Amino acid sequence: MSTPYKYRRLDRDDAAVLLVDHQTGLCNLVRDFSPDDFKNMVLALANSAKYFNLPTILTTSFEAGPNGPLMPEIKELFPEAPYVARPGQINAWDNEDFVKAIRATGKKQLIIAGVVTEVCVAFVALSAIEAGFEVFVVADASGTFNQTTRDASWARMQAAGAQLMTWFAVACELHRDWRNDMEGLGALFAKHLPSYANLISSFNAARK
Amino acid sequence: MSTPYKYRRLDRDDAAVLLVDHQTGLCNLVRDFSPDDFKNMVLALANSAKYFNLPTILTTSFEAGPNGPLMPEIKELFPEAPYVARPGQINAWDNEDFVKAIRATGKKQLIIAGVVTEVCVAFVALSAIEAGFEVFVVADASGTFNQTTRDASWARMQAAGAQLMTWFAVACELHRDWRNDMEGLGALFAKHLPSYANLISSFNAARK
Amino acid sequence: MSTPYKYRRLDRDDAAVLLVDHQTGLCNLVRDFSPDDFKNMVLALANSAKYFNLPTILTTSFEAGPNGPLMPEIKELFPEAPYVARPGQINAWDNEDFVKAIRATGKKQLIIAGVVTEVCVAFVALSAIEAGFEVFVVADASGTFNQTTRDASWARMQAAGAQLMTWFAVACELHRDWRNDMEGLGALFAKHLPSYANLISSFNAARK
Amino acid sequence: MSTPYKYRRLDRDDAAVLLVDHQTGLCNLVRDFSPDDFKNMVLALANSAKYFNLPTILTTSFEAGPNGPLMPEIKELFPEAPYVARPGQINAWDNEDFVKAIRATGKKQLIIAGVVTEVCVAFVALSAIEAGFEVFVVADASGTFNQTTRDASWARMQAAGAQLMTWFAVACELHRDWRNDMEGLGALFAKHLPSYANLISSFNAARK
Amino acid sequence: MSTPYKYRRLDRDDAAVLLVDHQTGLCNLVRDFSPDDFKNMVLALANSAKYFNLPTILTTSFEAGPNGPLMPEIKELFPEAPYVARPGQINAWDNEDFVKAIRATGKKQLIIAGVVTEVCVAFVALSAIEAGFEVFVVADASGTFNQTTRDASWARMQAAGAQLMTWFAVACELHRDWRNDMEGLGALFAKHLPSYANLISSFNAARK
Amino acid sequence: MSTPYKYRRLDRDDAAVLLVDHQTGLCNLVRDFSPDDFKNMVLALANSAKYFNLPTILTTSFEAGPNGPLMPEIKELFPEAPYVARPGQINAWDNEDFVKAIRATGKKQLIIAGVVTEVCVAFVALSAIEAGFEVFVVADASGTFNQTTRDASWARMQAAGAQLMTWFAVACELHRDWRNDMEGLGALFAKHLPSYANLISSFNAARK
Amino acid sequence: MSTPYKYRRLDRDDAAVLLVDHQTGLCNLVRDFSPDDFKNMVLALANSAKYFNLPTILTTSFEAGPNGPLMPEIKELFPEAPYVARPGQINAWDNEDFVKAIRATGKKQLIIAGVVTEVCVAFVALSAIEAGFEVFVVADASGTFNQTTRDASWARMQAAGAQLMTWFAVACELHRDWRNDMEGLGALFAKHLPSYANLISSFNAARK
Amino acid sequence: MSTPYKYRRLDRDDAAVLLVDHQTGLCNLVRDFSPDDFKNMVLALANSAKYFNLPTILTTSFEAGPNGPLMPEIKELFPEAPYVARPGQINAWDNEDFVKAIRATGKKQLIIAGVVTEVCVAFVALSAIEAGFEVFVVADASGTFNQTTRDASWARMQAAGAQLMTWFAVACELHRDWRNDMEGLGALFAKHLPSYANLISSFNAARK
């Protein structure tokens, strides 16, 4: 605590997004969020990555097996993104192509989400920190078997220096100032925050 | 209990849907569901009504005030539906136009959902039962301030003879047999049940 | 279930309110609500009784002992109300003065709340039903030791024919139509429903 | 309530078991129990049916599709049981073969469990009650999307006269007296109640 | 509901208490209460039975086996009570000695608690109702494996006409009037309600 | 941990309060507290700031839009406070006027609360720590979308060295000694802690 | 983390216990534990202090006012203990007598519990750490207004280097080896852990 | 945080497993998991140890007393494992044979689980860290009295540098790459993750 604190803040010019194993089979194992909430928050992160035009890297584990294919909505959002179908490595960081794709972005901040949290997310996060990256884990776009497992994995990642965030904080920290694009950000929020969309609808109606 | 039990089963030829006060201001008062879950389930019911082509009646309370406008998605789904903007009646059944619109459908089964449960839903439900209708309350497309309020209102409606259902049960009971339209029903479920959509995606991928 | 259902609806011309043992010592035993929520909801009911000008009867059990005095806010709201300090009866209905005060109102609908739910409320409720009154229990203005106790007491009262309500449902069912007094009711809601007050503030600001 | 109450008690000579749609895809939709708990309790019921030698009827909905095959453990337990793969009926009672198989048992008590509770279980339960059977729903061997849905479906079935039970109560009510077979019942409990198995292990160790 | 409601109220001259299988092994299976809470509430009921001098009947199931001996505190409280060690009957009502002991009391109101709720309590309760007794289940002095099981068993007993109570409601309904014995009842409450004991201590200190 | 620990304790002569975006629209997004609790705790902090006469700085984000106006009670409490209506900056620290206002107080301890926690509070907190301030986050006067988001944001702020507090701890740490003003502090607590107010009422009654 | 970790282990020859403000009024504010659990755990810690013969220091805040007297059971357990009735200091460490009494014990490990956690416990704990003591907070013998407050106070104390423990861990760490006194420790556990008492009773019965 | 982070990753060639006091009596004290979940996860860890052929050390505390014998399934899995029946030491690390057995493995990574978490696990974990080992606590194969106790013990262990994991993360981190043995790992997961087993069954059925 005695060294001066440096606020490592997300920077849209220095950040890349890693989406790890959001596959339809694995998603049905997730029980620390309701299915509606989880789908919404994963897509909120994906749409944020898209909106901020961040380099995004996709990876999967045995799409052709019980883990199932990548969520189709993600596939559609990033047709050109590097896509690493791992032949067996559980920790995606053990896959050279994956790390190469990350390094190719030239970014030093990594925004990571995936399924399941304590494996697909945590292993990558710990490896990335060790490799010198700044790591931001998107806690609500990552899911796992139960709350106990989530709590333990958060503790492990936090102890290693990962910053725990949620998709809304990520979007806000990247955007910095509403004046950069008021409508675009508002549309992103309205799409993934029904209660915020309600505020906007009520406001617009009141103005009429 | 000694009189023989009659299974009053939803019949697509004899059912109408009442959507009561799903307004954007009121929806932000709802705290017995997450906003994602609630929006999804309200639209799931609305899309079910549409899918089964059930006469649907909309009503609101002071759209021009703090209660806010009807959820825009509902408005779009039912552009031709009877729409009763009540001038002041809290219990929609006290509004003659609303009851007339219901009687005009000629149906005797009423599927009811709304915000908030213990007022906008319960008052209508109790009035409808008294008037001789069969009432099916869609519990997960109706929301209120907290769990205690919900529990109390369920108890009151159940004691009066209302059948407590959820949107999925409503859709299944109306459809009766998958062979009536396999793709249509599957699409409805996939849209509003992300975990079921995952099953379908995984299945299709496995078949390839 | 075969007899036709009669919707016994609160009628401001036929209802009285019984506030049983909302004493400061007893209130600190309540753990099925947070203290903020409980105080707010008890006062919401009391202010509703005042607003609708319903005859209100107060009773306490040993104010001079550990149970403590009646909540001061209630005392101030109803300076003229019949006030029965029971010399020992646990069930207030066993106290003749209390029952006389009720009968003196000439009303047949009783709105009951108190502390603790399974005793001070339930005993009175069951006695009143037996005596032929229509009983409406205000579930969120009544508190007790824990959730299990609450659930059991609700089940007992419901089986006896009591209608479980919450203060907001009571106010809405009494008011019937916003046009009877828009500002008054709005002020009552704004005072006791912070989220509704927020809707109003936002709306008014948007209109400017 | 005025008619004398008749305790309709499970009778091993007059009971049949219906296992409805415990398919591997559907089981992954269940979120009102942990996966371990749910699998254990479904198999506990299945093993109880086996132990008491009750006629057991299996049915599934589109095993060849996303709903997935029947849980393999159930298939293995009942190789000779009537097995109705429904061509489309959502309510299994709408399938003639299913009802015939039930009537062929000659039993009038039906023990029902399945996935999901508000559809596959509730529809069958309500139809069976209407048809004059005594219905016992095994609440912990039936699963669904969330707690709200479960609560609503319980309320509906209970109002119709279904008796809500859990597998342990079913086994105990069927067995009546430990002396009928002490070891067998003990083994069944030890297998599916780890805490009871612990009691037995501790006891045996202490006796040495 | 159309027949006039009769408030069946506990009467200290017409009530007996049945404590069913509160054995040390079985108590360790209970998980719908914390161990401290459960022990306290069982003893609160036992001490209430003692305080009101109600005939109390004890029964156990295989004390010499894994179920373990009766809680020693209960044994000590009722050294003279009829004690039926059942040779095998799961439903204590199937044991003639147990029923004889009950009938020998000449009481028609039965206050029942035990472990586990859905078997040891529910079976006895349902049998007793069928036999014409008035049944009061003490919900918080009865325990079971989990909340789901408890909910299901409450529903079954309630549907049969059992009144769900908790020990505090039982004590209050039996006592009727504090003037019957102020100190005795106060001592009983102080012993088993720490928060009420705190009120008394604070009050006494303030008076000094 | 090896450097000696320094207890950075709130000092009423060296602390300022930052209230960030407690706007009526945003407050309706808060779901990690009940509306009653949240309103009460925000005002408890505001009244504490007032009571201790701490320099207080207000800031809002687009009051004229869907976010809504500042809570009117806060506006009234601090009519003279610096008030920074940010033209677009999401992190208030990015607004020069805001930081200038803070520096103008000459204080080095910042007590921060706001809506939503992970953005409006966390961004300011992290920036302030980086700028060398001691940061005290008032956890119960800050709200957000759900518990998961709150947990993640707490972890991030804690890792940066922020001290997590609640309004009552803030008030107590600032006051140091009851003898500084017994009545004033007592009145503050009685106003915002109903259970403490109950203690006082009971005590005063007992003394009479 | 790079400095070698030193396991600071409780040592019965080097530990003192501080019980801060366990007063009957304040205890009724505690809502992060049930009253039964809280009373039991506070007394479990007190009895552990007694059993291990640890110097114990008591302090209270305005016993003569609404905060109420010290829990009588604690007073009785430690008739000779230093007892500091603070004239006004909120943080007991600001009271010279209190600190003197601690220093007089000559111990460097402080085991601290009290009400409320974030003030009476946390302030003392942080001061003690600053003063060079090793601090062990007994989390389950300390209580506060709600779970949020508890979580925030734990985070603050943990960040300062306090070790979070519970009474059972304290007793076990002090005892080191069952052979030091098997019966005494067993009796302590049996008294405050009903589930452990059940194990002992069952074991003893099985041995007969 | 300023020293570069080193990802201490489980290595199957450098890890040993310690199973501490998973005894049948103690397991019945565990209430932070359901009995089904807990048994399943303990055996999942044990089977993982077996699968990866890790040296495994068993220890118990007074098997011949109320704590009960080691879970029989664990005994059967490791017939040849070092087995230290401690004569009295509560912290197994205080037992020389236990530490010798650990050192004899020559491993420097210790995977630890046991009952109860804050004593049998935490004491060993803290001692092992002090002794220079890398410690991985398997949070879901360790159980204790309640959630509060668990949270406190996690905080203490985490502050000391223990890595909090769950059995699934342990297995995945040890395995590194599915290609090392696809079938074996799949079988392990299918056995202890019913939802994963469902994915496999569904997949295989779809392929047919």
Angle at A131 between CA A125 and CA A136, to 5 degrees: 35
Inter-chain CB proximity C178 and B153 less than 8 Å: no
Cβ neighbours of G188 (radius 10 Å): 22
Together in a domain, E51 and E83: yes
pLDDT tops 90 at residue B1: no
Kindly list the residues from chain C whose CB atom is less than 8 angstroms away from the CB atom of residue F205: 24, 63-64, 68-69
Say if residue A131 is in the same domain as residue A203: no
Chains touching chain F, criterion 3+ CB pairs below 8 Å? A, B, C, E, G
Token pair belonging to B141:
């497309």
Whole-angstrom CA distances from F165 to C183, F37, G33, G135, G145 are 39, 16, 20, 19, 13
Do E104 and E46 belong together in one domain?
A: yes
> Which residues on chain B are in Cβ contact (under 8 Å) with D145?
168, 193, 195
Please count the structural domains in chain A: 2
**Based on the domain organization, do D117 and D147 belong to the same domain?**
yes
Q: Which of E35, E72, E195 sits opposite G201 (nearest CB)?
A: E72
Residue H106 counted as domain residue: yes
Statement: residue D1 has pLDDT above 70: no
Element (H, E) at H18: strand H15-20
Tens of pLDDT, residue by residue over G145-190, are 999 999 999 999 999 999 999 999 999 999 999 999 999 999 999 9
Amino acid in position F67: N
Q: In angstroms, what separates the C-alpha of G208 from chain E's closest C-alpha? A: 9
Q: How far is B119 from chain C (nearest CA, A)?
A: 6
Considering the domain architecture, whether residues E29 and E128 belong to the same structural domain is answered as yes
Contact, G15 vs G105, CB < 8 A?
A: no
Largest Cα span, chain H:
58
Q: Cα C65 to chain center, whole Å?
A: 24
- E61 plus E96 within the same structural domain: yes
8 A C-beta contact, residue B111 and residue B142: no
**C4 Cβ under 8 Å from any chain E Cβ:** no
β-strand partners of G78: none
Q: Which of E5, E19, E11 is nearest to E174 (CA)?
A: E11
* Binding-face residues of A in 17-46 toward F, CB within 8 A: 33
Closest CA to H29 of G205, E35, D201: E35
Chain A contact present for D147, CB below 8 A: no
Asked if pLDDT for residue A187 goes beyond 70, the answer is yes
Question: What CA–CA distances, in Å, run from A135 to A9, A43, A78, F123?
Answer: 11, 20, 22, 17
Q: Which of H8, H32, H148 to mutate to test the interface with G (most CBs of G within 10 A)?
A: H148
User: What is the band of F2 on the pLDDT scale with cuts at 50, 70, 90?
Assistant: low
**Two structure tokens written together for C19:** 């506030």
Residue A146 contacts D, CB cutoff 8 Å = yes
| Chain segment C103-157, per-residue pLDDT in tens | 999 999 999 999 999 999 999 999 999 999 999 999 999 999 999 999 999 999 9
**What are phi and psi for residue A91, nearest 5 degrees?**
-85, 115
Please confirm, yes or no, whether D120 is among the known catalytic residues: yes
Mean pLDDT of F65-90: 97
Residue D4 lies in a domain: no
Chain G touched by C180 (CB under 8 Å): no
Give the Å distances, CA to CA, from H201 to A67, D35, G205, H186: 12, 15, 47, 12
Whether A and H touch (3+ CB pairs < 8 Å), yes or no: yes
| Residues of G belonging to the active site | 120
Task: Please tell me the distance in Å from G198's CA to the nearest CA on chain D.
Answer: 11
Catalytic residue among A120, A122, A124, A174: A120
Query: Is F9 inside any structural domain?
Result: no
Label the pairing between strands C56-61 and C15-20: parallel
Residue H7, min C-alpha distance to chain A (Å): 6
Looking at residue A180, what DSSP letter applies?
A: G
Rounded distance, CA H167 to CA H176, Å? 14
Closest by CA position to F1, among listed H135, G8, H122: G8
- Does the distance separating the beta carbons of F31 and B34 come in below 8 Å? yes
pLDDT tens track for A66-78: 999 999 999 999 9
* Touching pair E, A by Cβ (3+ pairs < 8 Å): no
pLDDT in tens, H153-196: 999 999 999 999 999 999 999 999 999 999 999 999 999 999 99
* Mean pLDDT along residues F106-129: 98
E165 within 8 A of C116, measured Cβ to Cβ:
no
Cα angle D184-D190-D193, degrees, rounded to a multiple of 5: 130
**Subunit contact F203:E206, Cβ cutoff 8 A:** yes
Instruction: Look at residue E68 and tell me if it is in a domain.
Output: yes
Would residue C109 be called left, alpha or beta, if left means φ above 0 and alpha means ψ between -120 and 50 degrees? beta
- Please indicate if any CB of chain F lies within 8 Å of the CB of A146: no
Query: Which of D42, D116, D120, D165 is labelled catalytic?
Result: D120
Q: Say if C52 falls within a structural domain.
A: yes
Contacts with A198 from chain C: Cβ below 8 Å: none
Hunting for tokens 């005025």 — which residue is that? Answer: D2
Q: What average pLDDT score do residues F115-139 get?
A: 98
CA distance F52 to F12: 7
What per-residue string of b and e applies to B90-103 under the rule 16 or more CB within 10 Å gives b? bbbbbbebbbebbe
Residue G189 lies in a domain: yes
Q: Which of B101, B120, B135, B141 is catalytic?
A: B120
DSSP state string for B51-64: HTT--EEEEEE-TT
Helix H or strand E segment including H8: none
Residues F151 and F207 in one domain: no
Q: What is the pLDDT of residues E51-93, one digit of tens each?
A: 999 999 999 999 999 999 999 999 999 999 999 999 999 999 9
Complex ipTM value: 0.96
- C122/C130 Cα distance (integer angstroms): 12
Q: Do chains G and B touch (3 or more CB pairs under 8 A)?
A: no
C182 neighbors C147 (Cβ within 8 angstroms): no
Q: Which residue of the set H16, H54, H111, H120 is catalytic?
A: H120
User: What is the pLDDT, as a whole number, of residue C1?
Assistant: 44
* Interchain pair E195, G35: CB under 8 A: yes
The residues near B79 (Cβ < 8 Å, ≥ 6 apart) are: none
Beta partners for residue A58, in sequence order: A19, A83
Residues D139-151 pLDDT 10s: 999 999 999 999 9
Q: What is the 3-state secondary structure (H, E, C) of chain D?
A: CCCCCCCCCCCCCCEEEEEECCEHHHHCCCCCCCHHHHHHHHHHHHHHHHHCCCCEEEEEECCCCCCCCECHHHHHHCCCCCEEEECCECCHHHCHHHHHHHHHHCCCEEEEEEECHHHHHHHHHHHHHHCCCEEEEEHHHCECCCHHHHHHHHHHHHHCCCEEECHHHHHHHHHCEHHHCHHHHHHHHHHHCHHHHHHHHHHHHHHC
How far is Cα G13 from Cα G208, in angstroms, rounded to an integer? Answer: 39
- Please, are residues C168 and C188 in contact by the beta-carbon 8 Å criterion? no
* Partners of residue H176 in chain A, C-beta under 8 Å: 89-91, 94
Q: Is residue E65 part of a domain?
A: yes
Estimate to the nearest angstrom the gap between the alpha carbon of F65 and the chain centroid: 24
Per-residue pLDDT, B2:
54
Interchain CB distance below 8 Å, G24 and E68: no
**Same structural domain, F185 and F171:** no
**Mean local confidence (pLDDT), F137-158:** 98
Q: Which residues contact A124 (CB under 8 A, 6 or more apart)?
A: A18, A20, A91, A92, A93, A112, A114
Percent over 70 (pLDDT), chain A: 99
> What digits encode the pLDDT tens for the residues B99-140?
999 999 999 999 999 999 999 999 999 999 999 999 999 999
CB contact under 8 A, G25 and E69: no
Q: How far is CA E196 from CA B99, E185, F138, F206, G25, in A?
A: 53, 12, 32, 15, 11
How close is the nearest chain B Cα to the Cα of F6, in Å? 42
Mean pLDDT of the residues in chain F = 97
CA distance E27 to G198: 7
For residues B119 and B138, give the distance between their C-alpha atoms in angstroms, rounded to a whole number: 14
Q: What distance in Å separates the CA atoms of residue B35 and residue F188, rounded to the nearest whole number?
A: 35
pLDDT digits (tens, 9 = 90+) for A91-139: 999 999 999 999 999 999 999 999 999 999 999 999 999 999 999 999 9
The first and second tokens of residue B116, run together, are: 């908030």
* Interval G46-64: pLDDT, tens: 999 999 999 999 999 999 9
In this complex, the chains that touch B, judged by 3 or more CB pairs closer than 8 A, are: A, C, D, F, H
- F206 and F147, same structural domain? no
User: Are chains A and C in contact at 3+ CB pairs closer than 8 Å?
Assistant: yes
Contacts of D165 in chain E (CB under 8 A): 118, 152-153, 156
Catalytic entry in F120, F121, F162, F165: F120
Q: Are residues E161 and E201 in the same domain?
A: no
**F115 and F89 assigned to the same domain:** yes
Where would I find the beta strands (DSSP E) of chain F?
Answer: 15-20, 56-61, 83-86, 109-114, 134-138, 163-165
Confidence at B40, pLDDT banded by 50, 70, 90: very high
Q: Is the dihedral of CA G110, G111, G116, G118 positive or negative?
A: positive
**Ramachandran angles phi, psi of H142, nearest 5°:** -125, 140
Tokens of F178: 């009851």
Q: What DSSP character marks residue E162?
A: P
Number of B/D CB contacts below 8 angstroms equals 102
| Residues B100, B28 share a domain | yes
Q: Do F59 and F21 meet the contact criterion of CB atoms below 8 Å apart? A: yes
Which residue do the tokens 């992970």 mark? F118
CATH code of the domain containing B27: 3.40.50.850
Q: Do the Cβ atoms of A31 and D28 come within 8 Å?
A: no
D69:H201 CB<8 A: yes
Tokens coding H177: 């790459």
In this structure, are residues D144 and D27 in contact, taking their beta carbons and an 8 Å threshold? no
Chains that touch E (3 or more CB pairs under 8 A): C, D, F, G, H
Question: How large is the average pLDDT for residues H39-50?
Answer: 98
Selected for mutation to probe chain C from A195, A196, A198, A202 (highest C CB count within 10 Å) is: A202
D32 vs D40: CA distance, rounded Å: 14
Q: Is residue G6 part of a domain?
A: no
Which H helix or E strand runs over C135? strand C134-138
Q: Range of B152's domain?
A: 15-176
Answer yes or no: is pLDDT of F69 > 70: yes
D114 within 8 A of D20, measured Cβ to Cβ: yes
DSSP percent split of chain E into helix, strand, coil, nearest 5: 50, 15, 30
